[in-house]
Chain A
């Protein structure tokens, strides 16, 4: 049971880290240390942290490269926004409506995850990566020509144009094709983002340390051996994929409800890659790393605003440096040596 307690301890450190970050950012924001644009980034940061954590479940624990993660975020974002607008009269309490919208976002994304996962998870490695990339683009393009409106009769859907929604006079178009969702009631809050991160952490950490999580990790380490142990491969790959998609959908809903307009183009290949960068940079299979990488890399472009034209150049250099420093053995031993030197005097002082 010693190992279990070590894992539990690691989990609690992650929860504590998130809570501490929440308090720190809350204080910084209320003390006006953060400028406006930084304060505006707090909720997107939460969304990206959830995205990175959920992608880590697929890439780190299930060991499959998925390049279409932004697609699920897109499904969740539009699903959540539509539900939120649809229920705006039925549920007047904004936080409750947010919870319901996020849950619907997760549900829609999970459904998309099942639809895509069943055919796609027969593939492995590079092939899977390519097909998930394609599916991410397909979702984006479907969203690009999706028209959803609402009138007294209920919701109307169309894939051609706004006129074909056939709404009564006074009907409201919620999603207007390439223009995206308009006039969204902004109901996301920083606190709700933190709660979503905590829920995501809770699900992933507990899943990984259970029977299902062991099966998922076993399939990653050795598929043939897992099969020979009686583990149904497709079921557990799908479980990881769909759980990950659902959490991405929840993050998407939170993200969508933070802006007054969102366009489908936002959730393209670049966003998928950005999230993958968070995961790889934070360490594949390392949840704490994903959290930190998502925060730093989302805030970095904002912090680098003073470099103006050279902003993306500096961003790229920072990425390269971090990659080298974390993956180079000499650099790693140098850093650990430095850490030891710093820690050693403290220990002596204690003794």
Chain B
């Protein structure tokens, strides 16, 4: 199977005393972000199930999958917009269980949003300064009375804002209201704002959505530049396959809330399971359903613990639904 999974299996697994559902975790490799058996249910619907992922510092990983596969839900779980129903997330070795979105950001994870979420009425500069919030050191009354530390810290923040904006050549837009920026610039501003929080892991939710090919090419270059300059790991959701295949070192494919494949770009491109998830299967293959199912099962399940028993049942149901949809919709 894929190379990444093989690598993970070779690493020594150390049992960790933990009240959560994970019996053991990878302690041998310095992973900056690690999700184990991550899952969430909304009522009776299992949106994400048994999601396992490890990202090394300074690695660019792509998270792809058809619409509604649960990619953004994974982001929301990692950034604690939702609390997971099952599993654990380790950020730089720290368990983020029970943390709020604010705390997990301070711990070193920053993100952008699929539907842009800027502070529309504030200027570009103030948007980035809110990203710098936790690195500006003065209190409310020091700000109200304009003590020397206010001027010192504001000057420092102002310089840092211009420095960060210059990554995308946006320094001249600093005084514009963020809501009035063109679409592409808004997306770039979100990345700048996320970078301002000094993350160890940056999550980009469809950074190239709505961009033309030349803008996308520029963005690809910039994402690489950000990784090198800031020395951070990047996990990105993207539908633009040129971008994903061009810059990602590892790719995770998600379908119906489960990982169906992991690997390098070339492995993913040639993986029949992935091709099927995106394009549906041909009529001939459908007759050989049974074989496919077991194969998919192998890819997902790395352990057969008690927690995954329910998951197995859910998976079968999901797989059934999937076939129906593919039959009806796209063949």
Question: Which B residue's beta carbon lies closest to that of A2?
Answer: B175
Q: In the complex, what residues of A have CB within 8 A of residue B131's CB?
A: 229
Cα-based distance from A210 to B144 in the complex (angstroms): 7
Q: Are B140 and A239 in contact (CB under 8 A)?
A: yes
- For the complex formed, measure the closest distance between the CB of A238 and the CB atoms of chain B, giving whole angstroms: 11
Q: Are B81 and A211 in contact (CB under 8 A)?
A: no
B118 within 8 A of A: yes
Question: Which A residue's beta carbon lies closest to that of B81?
Answer: A224
Q: In the complex, what residues of B have CB within 8 A of residue A313's CB?
A: none
User: For chains A and B in complex, what number of residue pairs have CB atoms within 8 angstroms?
Assistant: 102
Given contacts A211-B138, A213-B143, A239-B140, are A221 and B101 in contact (CB under 8 A)? no
B2 within 8 A of A: no
Q: Are A227 and B118 in contact (CB under 8 A)?
A: no
- For the complex formed, measure the closest distance between the CB of B142 and the CB atoms of chain A, giving whole angstroms: 8
A207 within 8 A of B: yes
Cα-based distance from A239 to B141 in the complex (angstroms): 11
Q: Are B143 and A225 in contact (CB under 8 A)?
A: no
Q: Scan A106-130; emit 1 where CB is below 8 A from any B CB, else 0.
A: 0000000000000000000000000
Q: In the complex, what residues of A have CB within 8 A of residue B143's CB?
A: 206-207, 210-213
Q: In the complex, what residues of A have CB within 8 A of residue B125's CB?
A: 3
A residues 217-237 in Cβ contact with B at 8 Å: 217-218, 221-222, 224-233
A residues 1-40 in Cβ contact with B at 8 Å: 1-4
Q: Are B122 and A228 in contact (CB under 8 A)?
A: no
Q: In the complex, what residues of A have CB within 8 A of residue B144's CB?
A: 202-203, 206-207, 210
Q: Are A225 and B118 in contact (CB under 8 A)?
A: yes
Interface centre among A2, A215, A218 (most CB of B within 10 A): A218
Given contacts A206-B145, A217-B122, A221-B119, are A211 and B101 in contact (CB under 8 A)? no
B262 within 8 A of A: no
Question: Which A residue's beta carbon lies closest to that of B144?
Answer: A206
Q: In the complex, what residues of A have CB within 8 A of residue B174's CB?
A: 3
- For the complex formed, measure the closest distance between the CB of A113 and the CB atoms of chain B, giving whole angstroms: 14
- For the complex formed, measure the closest distance between the CB of A337 and the CB atoms of chain B, giving whole angstroms: 23
Cα-based distance from A226 to B143 in the complex (angstroms): 20
Q: Are A227 and B146 in contact (CB under 8 A)?
A: no
Question: Which B residue's beta carbon lies closest to that of A6?
Answer: B175
B100 within 8 A of A: yes
Main secondary structure of the interface of A (DSSP, over half): helix
Cα-based distance from A232 to B103 in the complex (angstroms): 8
Interface centre among A226, A228, A231 (most CB of B within 10 A): A228
Q: Are B175 and A231 in contact (CB under 8 A)?
A: no
Which of B65-73, B105-113, B226-234, B272-280 makes up part of the contact surface? Answer: B105-113
Q: Are A217 and B119 in contact (CB under 8 A)?
A: yes
- 10 closest Cβ contacts across the A-B interface? A210-B143, A230-B105, A221-B119, A225-B117, A227-B101, A218-B130, A206-B144, A212-B140, A222-B117, A230-B134
A214 within 8 A of B: yes
Q: Are A218 and B150 in contact (CB under 8 A)?
A: no
Q: Are A228 and B101 in contact (CB under 8 A)?
A: yes
Q: In the complex, what residues of A have CB within 8 A of residue B153's CB?
A: 211
Q: Are B102 and A232 in contact (CB under 8 A)?
A: yes
**Listed A/B pairs (16) with beta-carbon separation below 8 Å:** A1-B158, A2-B175, A203-B144, A212-B139, A212-B140, A214-B129, A221-B120, A221-B122, A222-B118, A224-B117, A225-B118, A226-B119, A227-B81, A228-B105, A228-B113, A230-B133
B interface, CB within 8 angstroms of A: 79, 81, 100-102, 105-106, 110-111, 113, 117-123, 125-127, 129-131, 133-134, 136, 138-140, 143-146, 150, 153-154, 158, 174-175, 193-194, 196-197
Cα-based distance from A226 to B105 in the complex (angstroms): 10
A interface, CB within 8 angstroms of B: 1-4, 202-203, 206-207, 210-215, 217-218, 221-222, 224-233, 239
Q: Are A210 and B150 in contact (CB under 8 A)?
A: yes
- For the complex formed, measure the closest distance between the CB of A208 and the CB atoms of chain B, giving whole angstroms: 10
Partner of B133, one of A1, A211, A222: A211
Question: Which B residue's beta carbon lies closest to that of A235?
Answer: B102
Partner of B119, one of A4, A210, A225, A227: A225
Q: Are B130 and A215 in contact (CB under 8 A)?
A: yes
Interface centre among A210, A215, A232 (most CB of B within 10 A): A210
Q: In the complex, what residues of A have CB within 8 A of residue B79's CB?
A: 228
- For the complex formed, measure the closest distance between the CB of B123 and the CB atoms of chain A, giving whole angstroms: 6
Cα-based distance from A206 to B143 in the complex (angstroms): 7
Given contacts A210-B143, A232-B102, are A3 and B175 in contact (CB under 8 A)? yes
Cα-based distance from A45 to B175 in the complex (angstroms): 36
Question: Which A residue's beta carbon lies closest to that of B111?
Answer: A228
- For the complex formed, measure the closest distance between the CB of A195 and the CB atoms of chain B, giving whole angstroms: 17
Q: Are B130 and A231 in contact (CB under 8 A)?
A: yes
- For the complex formed, measure the closest distance between the CB of B122 and the CB atoms of chain A, giving whole angstroms: 6
- For the complex formed, measure the closest distance between the CB of B316 and the CB atoms of chain A, giving whole angstroms: 35
- For the complex formed, measure the closest distance between the CB of B81 and the CB atoms of chain A, giving whole angstroms: 7
- For the complex formed, measure the closest distance between the CB of A285 and the CB atoms of chain B, giving whole angstroms: 8
Q: Are B193 and A229 in contact (CB under 8 A)?
A: yes
Given contacts A206-B146, A218-B119, A221-B120, are A211 and B136 in contact (CB under 8 A)? yes
